[in-house]
Amino acid sequence: MSNDDEHWMRRALDLARRGETRPGANPIGCVIVRGGAVIAEGYNEVDLRHDPTAHAEIVAIRRAGERLQCHELRDTTLYSTLQPCGMCTMASIWAKIGRVVFGAGRGDVHRMYFEDRHIDTLDFIRDAYSPDISIKGGVLAAVCAQLYVPPDADVSPPHKVAR
């Protein structure tokens, strides 16, 4: 693990902790870096914005596009405290992000974070997109995993919201 990867993951951890304290936000942090400088960052804002796509990675990708006035984020690295879901993985591919580094992976947290799905986005990338993007997992995984419900926790199903 490189010192740079640890450095940027610690920044993503700080963002996740900030998200954990903000009403309507959640403890997943993301930083996008190019050439040793932060391009954009964010934390999960799904409940805050009432937007199911406002994952930390999507928030950061949108901010990076606005800042750079470009939809392609070539030569960037995206750091996330949790393995990106399918939506965030595909957004990273379409944004031309060259490298994704994450902390806690599927096995480090409760399956609810991945909707109990058996499909692993890392397998998908290896099969279809490996020349376009590289993925590195497990950077400060134990520290990142502390932000989330552990894999063996007994979690009650969420309550349905009446409309």
pLDDT, tens digit (0-9, with 9 covering 90-100), for 60-97: 999 999 999 999 999 999 999 999 988 898 899 999 99
Please enumerate in sequence order all residues whose Cβ is within 8 A of that of 118, keeping only pairs 6 or more positions apart, or say none: none
Does the pTM of the predicted model rise above 0.85? yes
Strand partners, 99: 77, 134
Residue 139 tokens read as: 């950077």
3-state SS, residue 37: strand
Write down the pLDDT at residue 68: 97
Strand partners, 81: none
Helix or strand or coil: residue 99?
A: strand
DSSP 3-state of 5: helix
What are the Cα distances from residue 62, in Å, to 56, 101, 123, 130, 151?
Answer: 10, 18, 25, 23, 31
pLDDT value, residue 15: 97
Q: Diameter of the chain by CA atoms?
A: 49
Q: How many other β-carbons are positioned within 10 Å of the β-carbon of residue 37? A: 6
Residues taking part in catalysis: 57
Q: What's the pLDDT tens digit per position in 116-162?
A: 556 666 776 667 666 778 889 999 999 999 998 777 888 776 654 44
Q: What are the beta bridge partners of residue 134?
A: 99
Q: At what angle do helices 3-21 and 56-68 cross, to 10 degrees?
A: 110
Contact present, 92 and 84 (Cβ < 8 Å):
yes
